[in-house]
A and B are shown apart, each in its own frame.
Chain A
Amino acid sequence: MPPSAAVRVGSPFTGLGPVFMKELSDHLSSIRMLVLTLFVIVFGAFPVASSLQQLRTVVGADAYLFLRIFTIAPEQIALPFVQALNFVIPLMAIGLGFDSVNSEFNRRTLSRVLSQPIYRDALLLGKFLGGLVTLAVALVALWLIVFGAGLLLLGLPPRGVEVARALGFLVVAIAYGGVWLAVSMLFSVVFRSTATSALCALGLWLFFFILWPMIADAITLGFVPNEIRSVDQLLSLQELSLALQRLSPGTLFTEAVIGLLNPETRTLGPMLPSQMRGAIVGAPLPLDESLLMIWPQVTGLIASMIVLFAAAYVIFQRQEVRA
């Protein structure tokens, strides 16, 4: 332990429980939760309802029919459920986290809380976990709505593999929400004004959604040589473009979800025709192979969530809160 001015004793988790419970109850009873529920219904249930309408008219043996509810693009609305979630989860997470610390500061309740035997560690972690669990509650509710509607309207139970893949999808979705929650909490620690913090978080979200794909394309174009001589050159360009895209958490989420919910997906990168030769098209990958395939994406999401939280933590610990 490095030498320090203050003598640090006791567990940093002291008081984590009350902070977490208070934060959770605040979230769940707030108007914000009502708005979140509305989000969930509009952006989640609506595409699912229309994709179920379409699935009911399709007669065909599909081993993964239940997973198609998530992935199929309905004819009426060109918005698959997964795409909708990719869009709406960051919004929900930012909504939950953008004012978690600075609102306490502005209401001058922060010093009052910290005068209790509660460490800042516990306060920040409790707030983060409270937000994450609130997000998870909303997502689980949505997931259950989808499954229940699927059971009702398709009239067939999902297989064990399908349930496992759908649960994996839920975990990935929560991790994705955690990344954006950590981002918004970081901004709420950095900026004293809630409006600035919300603006920055939303700005980053818009940047990754709208600008980043174009910027990634532009950067890739800069690397294109005068003439492409071999397949390897083309392949390396494609891989560069993909690597740049993957800096956006949205891309990681989409790829992980495709790998999980489309069992036929063999690779997330470019595939050469020579690699396709002899392959049985449409044969689903076993679950462990799919998990292995999306593991880098999941790793990226979880690790960036932890790193962002650590950054927020360090900044928060170094701040002066007595005002």
Chain B
Amino acid sequence: MHRVTALLASLALFVLAAGGVAQAAEPPKADPAKAEAPKGLFLLTDYPSQTVRVGEVTTVRVKLTNSGLPPEPVALALSGVPAGWKIDILGSGQPVAAAMPGVNQDVSLQLRVDVPKDAKPGSEKVVLSAKGPQSQVELPLTFTVGSETPAKLSLKSRLPSLRGTPRSSFEYTVSVSNDSGKDLTVALSAQGPANFQTTFTEGYGSNEISSIPIEAGQSKDIKVKVTPPRDVKAGDYPVLVRVAAEGATAELRVTLQISGQGKLALSTKDGRLSGEATVGKTSDYTLVVSNDGTAPIDEVEMSGSVPSGWKVEFNPKTIQSVAPNEKKDVQVQVTPSDKAIAGDYVATFRANGRGESSSADFRITVTTSTIWGIVGIGIIAVALLVLLGAVARFGRR
């Protein structure tokens, strides 16, 4: 039903527009070959026949053009205003009664049409007249009450499908057109799979926006940035971009083609990145190589940097493949140098595989052997034995 009225209204508009040509003292001749423009006073408007809404204010832009005549004050008047309607002639926002365009110059005017709430449907004819001492011109305007084109929006995207890894950000440039006859503030929203984040920015701006004003008949470019969650599996994900304003909506489906990517992580079983080692003796630690990404990683090579004179060995040295969400144990054997001094040292272990790498700093507390402590106790024992021997030999005198 709504659509039928809209169709009828546009048909009526078309018919009326054909009749409503701006009247001039001399009919304008659009001939580019002629050097001289047509002389006279003209009243111009883009849409002489318009739809107005009951109880609302519509502004009609009108231009008063003086072509080749000496400037003179021109009185402006309206006739045929229906009862209850209020139409003001505005110039620069103020009510005006006369205008004075210079030679070959325009004066912009607005008609502020205030339609009463009880206005009856149908067409009303209003004539705007401009009357100077020399010339006179009239502009008939037709206002159709009640039926008008509803807000209409459309969405377009040049690149509706993008490809990337879970870590890349997907930016779609979408142009939103306001196809209706009035300015609209368009609300933006997007619907994607769970945990997908979408943000809107305007053109090249960096501010996030949730709505954007678009003038009648204009279109604006907005950027939709979709950030998938890091742990998303490879596959195609649709995101529905939706714009809405005053009952009109438009939808556009963009697609994210996410390919998998591996992500290496190096840790230990209990997450503790410290251990103890004795000087000159081999200590074993178990490292865990895991793949937090979405694609398998092949040929992961283990390496490590330890203080000079130390030895480090991995078993296995190379891991064939680590599947996503898989954990593999690697034994690492660290032997502190014979000359190492007790204390804390840093050893760095690394896992490298096909562009992915991860490293972990391992704190090793080196302890020394207790053999010298026992020797010390032995020395004290010998001293005590000497004393005991002296007591036995010379004692109790």
Contact = CB atoms under 8 A, between A and B. Distances in A.
Interface stretch (B48-56, B238-246, B360-368): B360-368
Contacts of B310: 278
B347 A310 contact: no
A58 interface: no
Contacts of A283: 343-344
Given A279-B307, A299-B376, A313 B344 contact: no
A119 B396 contact: yes
B7 interface: no
Nearest to A274: B308
B383 A310 contact: yes
A8 B310 CA distance: 61
B308 A278 contact: yes
Given A1-B392, A121-B397, A278-B308, 15 more contacts: A8-B395, A119-B397, A120-B397, A266-B343, A271-B341, A278-B345, A280-B363, A288-B367, A292-B372, A293-B342, A299-B376, A299-B379, A306-B387, A314-B393, A317-B390
Given A280-B345, A295-B373, A309 B387 contact: yes
Given A120-B397, A289-B368, A307 B386 contact: yes
Contact of A275 (B340, B367, B395): B340
B204 interface: no
Interface string A2-38: 1000101110100000000000000000000000000
B372 A295 contact: yes
Interface of A: 1-2, 6, 8-10, 12, 119-121, 266-267, 271-272, 274-275, 277-280, 283, 285-286, 288-289, 291-293, 295-296, 298-299, 302-303, 306-307, 309-310, 313-314, 317-318
B73 interface: no
Interface in B372-391: 372-373, 376-377, 379-380, 382-384, 386-387, 390-391
Contacts of B397: 6, 8, 119-121, 317
A303 B379 contact: yes
Given A12-B396, A119-B397, A292-B373, A278 B347 contact: yes
A306 B339 contact: no
B273 interface: no
A262 B309 CA distance: 27
Contacts of B365: 286
A266 B341 contact: yes
Contact of A295 (B306, B363, B376, B391): B376
Interface string B263-294: 00000000000000000000000000000000
Interface of B: 306-310, 337, 339-347, 363, 365, 367-368, 370, 372-373, 376-377, 379-380, 382-384, 386-387, 390-397
A283 B99 CA distance: 89
A268 to B, nearest CB: 10
A267 B372 CA distance: 14
Interface centre among A6, A283, A292, A293 (most CB of B within 10 A): A292
B378 to A, nearest CB: 9
Contact of B309 (A2, A6, A274): A274
Contacts of A309: 387
Contact of B342 (A1, A6, A285): A285
Contacts of A293: 342, 368
B139 to A, nearest CB: 83
Given A279-B344, A289-B367, A313 B379 contact: no
17 contacts: A121-B397, A266-B341, A267-B342, A272-B339, A274-B308, A277-B307, A277-B308, A278-B307, A278-B346, A280-B345, A280-B363, A289-B367, A292-B372, A310-B383, A313-B391, A314-B390, A317-B394
A25 B347 CA distance: 59
Nearest to B377: A299
B341 A121 contact: no
A118 to B, nearest CB: 11
Nearest to B347: A278
B5 to A, nearest CB: 78
Contact of B394 (A9, A302, A313): A313
A74 B384 CA distance: 41
Contact of A279 (B345, B373, B382, B392): B345
Contacts of B340: 275
Contacts of A306: 380, 383-384, 386-387
A126 to B, nearest CB: 14
A299 B380 contact: yes
A283 B386 CA distance: 41
